[in-house]
Structure 1
Amino acid sequence: MLMILCMPSKPTEPHNNFNSYNTNKPMPVISKNNNNNASSSVPKLFLFFTFLSILSLAFFFFPTTTITTTTIAHPSLSLQSSLEPTINVYVADLPRSLNYGLLDRYWAFSPSDSRLGSDSDRGIRSSNLGIKTLEIPPYPENPLIKQYSAEYWILGDLMTPPQHRTGSFAKRVFDPRNAHVIFVPFFATLSAEMQLGMAKGAFRKKVGNEDYKRQRQVIDFLKKTESWKRSGGRDHVFVLTDPVAMWHVKDEISPAILLVVDFGGWYRHDSKSSNCSSTDTDMIQHTQVSVLKDVIVPYTHLLPRLHLSENKERHNILYFKGAKHRRRGGLIREKLWDLLVNESGVIMEEGFPNATGREQSIRGMRASEFCLHPAGDTPTSCRLFDAIQSLCIPVIISDNIELPFEGMVDYLEFSVFVAVSDALKPSWLVNHLKSFSKEQKDRFRQNMAQVQPIFVYDNGHPGGIGPIPLDGAVNHIWKKVHQKLPMIKEAIIREKRKPPGVSVPRRCHCT
């Protein structure tokens, strides 16, 4: 029986292993000593099989719980396993004018509006005359637009030839019937930003609004497809990194899987359109934004990565740069500003993310132990991801915030969370931050350095066409979508079995 336990079995080939090409390599030779005579080899074989038998019994009676515990304790360090399945993605056949064609139009502009005419983009327009002939133009460097560039990098990965996509968690399929999800390649954020830059006054109107025409074109096209009819759009994926993206058709796409930076652009809309009560909190429907079906994605960081080996002594306790006055939930920012602006070791700078502001932010974040992250117009901003890339410990002032890749990343390992009520007490926040020891702050930065790549979209290839890093933002987004699939499938089946004429009452997502 012992010999049966220790006999080596044929290794099982992992399902959908990205590195399956390695399985064709010849098996390694266990012993290379072919000069030993038969009499000397027998004891060695006996000892070898005896050792394997003991090892097998040890595994049988003493499970390897230590290894499992270590993996669970550090989810942020567990990136891509070769045993993970892929997610099959079909790219909806939208015209080029709704994605890369929008970039053609953007680079053809000579705008004066600050949203479209930043110094960095003016430089690209003037120095790169051949940009108009590129099949896939670059995404704008204008920080107001670049922070929302997830749509560009996700599509770039899907457009990459299959032989260069061996590291991608998403497998592109060319028959929608073979797909788990349908990706909608509409640059919704760029469309919205271009409208805001060209004719802001028409943004909330339908007449004279080019962005609305594009939104309508997308929805009208999708609703005619068999894929949409089959699922009601529930298995379709939209990238909506700007809270105002696809604003006019929110009701029509709300059953879909939405990739959003937070839910801040949806709460007020939903609370007005449905009589929300406390009894609805555990009855979230697929007609509302929800962590059950939607995915929180990171903003694109605007500051360069600081490696742990490059970290230098930090002289400031706390740093913040941004607009003092915000709307809605961001009103707390003004109160915090007044409390902190005169505190010793605290730097509060008001500024715009132009070229000068960028350099100030780099210096400020790299010279400070902690970086303040209060809510703006919505709960999150790209400032959090700039802080992570700068190894500046984020101080998140929020009672209710959704963060990217929860469950994959443990933010407590490198961030400080503070209740709004505590933050608004005079001197409380600074005294709290001073209580952290050097060892604690060093550990925060070490953990932060481990997760920096997870929040990076740029794969270093022109147009985003090329292999992506295994541990980057695009792969982690598709992993989160993959986690939603059982709920999406259940919702589709439940919808199909409803008798004709029966509708589910609309409920809001209260938090």
Structure 2
Amino acid sequence: MPPPRLPTLFLLFLTAAAQDSDPGPDCTGRWIHIRQLPPQFNLDLLSNCSEYPVSGDFCPFVANHGLGQKTHNSSRSWYRTDPLMLELIFHRRMLEYPCLTPDPSLAAAVYLPYYAGLDAVRYLYGPDQNSSFLHGLDLFRFLTRTDRPSIWNRRRGHDHFLVMARPAWDFSQPLSNDPPIFGTSFLELPEFFNITALTLESRAYPWQEQAIPYPTSFHPQNLGFLQSWIQRVRRTRRSSLMLFAGGGGISANPNIRRSIRLECDNVTALSTEGTGFEKFCDFVDCSSGICEHDPIRFMRPMLRASFCLQPPGDTPTRQSTFDAVVAGCIPVFFEEQSARRQYTWHMAEEEYGEWSVFIAKEEVVGKGLRIMDVLMGIPRAEVRRMRERVVGMIERVVYRKHGSSLGLRSKKDAFDIAVDRALQRINSRVHQILSHSLHSSFHSHM
């Protein structure tokens, strides 16, 4: 079966969406120019959606402009969303941004609709794996030589930003690696040191990166659907103390996931009488990726759990953290890098203790600390207060559906916050550069 003719359909949509953009009353310092890129950097990558190595056929997840197919026909807010589609979701939402300008000289920032995560697949798994140090150079040549290089040169890329729907580690292979290891070198290229890259997980040190939330499967299209879900989250009875939805932990080597699974197995035999819970630990086995596009499998258990355990996996962060927030389930972290040092635009670092629990994995794995004992030791009034803070964060971490109602647009979602903070960062950076330039120019004429 041939892949769908996505580029033609999507181009028609882009034109219509751009015409629907309605400038807001005050765009001072907020004007954004969307750089027009050749389809090889975005739309052509979608047309091959059934042919990507390892990833297999991801055409179903391209549906609904990146939200994926609905979980069931009657669903109005729930989709089978793949995190890799965040680049497409973000692009679609940027076309509704109220302060777009066709004149790059008037823009505070320039958005690059480059689907970097999709383009990286051929370097990560495909025939170009040994050329992964080349990832991004075609884009750089286009920006600086082929098409209006003055747009890039005006700020040397400091005013450009893009979304990269993978952890930054996937784009951080040192240029000196020979032979190459997993990853591309996009973020290691000096050519892109000045851009702002919005990634699903950032490294601790580079200036250019900022982590933004993984997309969940919940994409409401009006305020009523959002409020209805929040009401359901608030009234659901939390019959389980804690829940772990994930895979791993089956090896004999000590690690936090193994400790969690062993504890879950052990506490099932304990009496819950007088505790207010029907079970102390619930486990949803998500091995082999079976939960990735099936939110029903884990969302209902999360709604019934008081705490959701968030151990690190291949990288410190997990999409499950945001699924837990949407379910009103209090996250339990075991590494500082899991979220506290990551999503600072959407979750203030100094407020983590107000809506989450931190238990050092070394205490659990090395010293035998029982997670259940820590959680049972938190006063119930404190648990209720923490959950209310979690519920209050739902609207900040979801990506609402494109074309949503005016009422819902009055609430800032994950996209709105990401764009606002990216603009703040870019404006601050450009101001510093201009101030330094003026200062240097002044002294050179003294």
CA contact (8 A) 2:66 2:85 kept: no
Structure 2 stretches lacking a partner, 5+ long: 1-22, 71-78, 173-183, 220-225, 269-279, 441-446
Kindly report which structure 2 residues correspond to 1:28-39, keeping only aligned pairs within 5 A, or say none.
none
Instruction: Read off the aligned partner of 2:323 and give its amino acid letter.
Output: D
Distance of 1:19 and 1:357 partners within structure 2:
37
Q: Aligned-pair distance for 1:189? A: 1.4
Matched residue pairs, number? 362
Q: Secondary structure at the match of 2:129?
A: coil
Give per-residue Cα distances to partners, 1:170-211, cap 9 Å, x unaligned. Answer: x21222221222211101112234665xxx2535322xx7xx
- Are 1:148 and 2:65 matched, yes or no? no
* Cα displacement (A) at 1:390: 0.9
Q: Secondary structure at 1:93's aligned position in 2?
A: coil
Q: Tell me the residue number matched to 1:391.
A: 328
Distance 1:341 1:357 in 2: 25
Give the drift of 1:484. 1.4
SS in 2 for 1:227: helix
Corresponding residue for 2:357?
416
The amino acid that maps onto 1:220 is: R
* Deviation at residue 220 of structure 1 after TM alignment: 1.2
Identity rate, percent: 19
Offset at residue 482 of structure 1 (A) = 2.7
Amino acid at match of 1:479: D
> Which of 474-483 and 341-350 deviates more?
341-350
* Counterpart in the other structure of 2:75: none
CA distance in 1, matches of 2:257, 2:438: 48
Q: Which sections of structure 1, spanning at least 5 residues, go unmatched?
A: 1-17, 21-82, 126-130, 268-287, 500-511
Q: How does 1:31-430 map to 2 (within 5 A)?
A: 86-106=29-49, 109=50, 115-117=55-57, 121=59, 138=66, 140=68, 146-160=82-96, 165-166=97-98, 171-193=99-121, 200-202=125-127, 204-206=129-131, 215-224=136-145, 225-243=149-167, 244-245=170-171, 247-252=184-189, 253-264=192-203, 289-290=206-207, 294-302=209-217, 306-310=229-233, 311-324=235-248, 332-344=256-268, 345-351=280-286, 352-354=288-290, 358-400=295-337, 401-406=340-345, 409=348, 410-424=351-365, 425-430=367-372
Amino acid at match of 1:449: V
- Normalising by structure 1, report the TM-score: 0.61
Which amino acid is the alignment partner of residue 90 of structure 1? H
Q: CA deviation at 1:259?
A: 0.7
Query: Any conservation in 2 of the 1:303–1:362 contact (CA below 8 Å)?
Result: no
The 1:150–1:372 alpha-carbon spacing in structure 2 relative to 1, beyond 3 Å, is same
Q: Does the 8 A contact of 2:249 with 2:257 survive in 1?
A: yes
Does the Cα contact within 8 Å between 2:201 and 2:342 map onto a contact in 1? yes
Higher relative contact order (CA 8 A, sep 6+): 1
CA 1:444 to 1:378, structure 2 compared with 1: closer, same or farther past 3 Å?
same
Deviations, residues 222-267 of structure 1 (Å, cap 9, x unaligned): 2231232233322211212302258232223232111122224xx7
Query: 1 CA distance for matches of 2:150 and 2:250?
Result: 44
Task: Quote the Cα distance in structure 1 between the aligned partners of 2:90 and 2:244.
Answer: 30
Q: Is the 8 A contact 2:171 2:186 kept in 1?
A: no
Partner of 1:456: 398
* TM-aligned CA distance change 1:258 to 1:454, over 3 Å: same
Letter in 2 for 1:301: T
> How many angstroms apart in 2 are the aligned matches of 1:241 and 1:453?
20
- 1:471 and 2:412 correspond: yes
- Cα distance in 2 for residues equivalent to 1:110 and 1:324: 28
Shift of 1:358: 3.6
RMSD: 3.9
Q: More displaced, 212-221 or 89-98?
A: 212-221
Q: 1:432 to 1:323 in 2, by over 3 A?
A: same
Contact map agreement 2:110 2:161 (CA 8 A) in 1? yes
Aligned amino acid, residue 378 of structure 1: T
Q: Which residue of 2 aligns with 1:282?
A: none
2:290 maps to a residue whose letter is N
**Per-residue CA shift, 1:485-505, capped at 9, x if unaligned?**
354125534886899xxxxxx
Deviation at 1:299, TM superposition (A): 0.4
Letter in 2 for 1:255: N
Shift of 1:389: 0.7
Structure 1 residue 295 displacement after superposition: 2.6
- Rounded to whole Å, the distance in 1 between the matches of 2:113 and 2:24 is 28
Residue 110 (structure 1) shift: 6.2
Distance in 2, matches of 1:437 and 1:223, equals 59
Instruction: Supply the distance in 1 between the matched residues of 2:91 and 2:346 (Cα, whole angstroms).
Output: 25
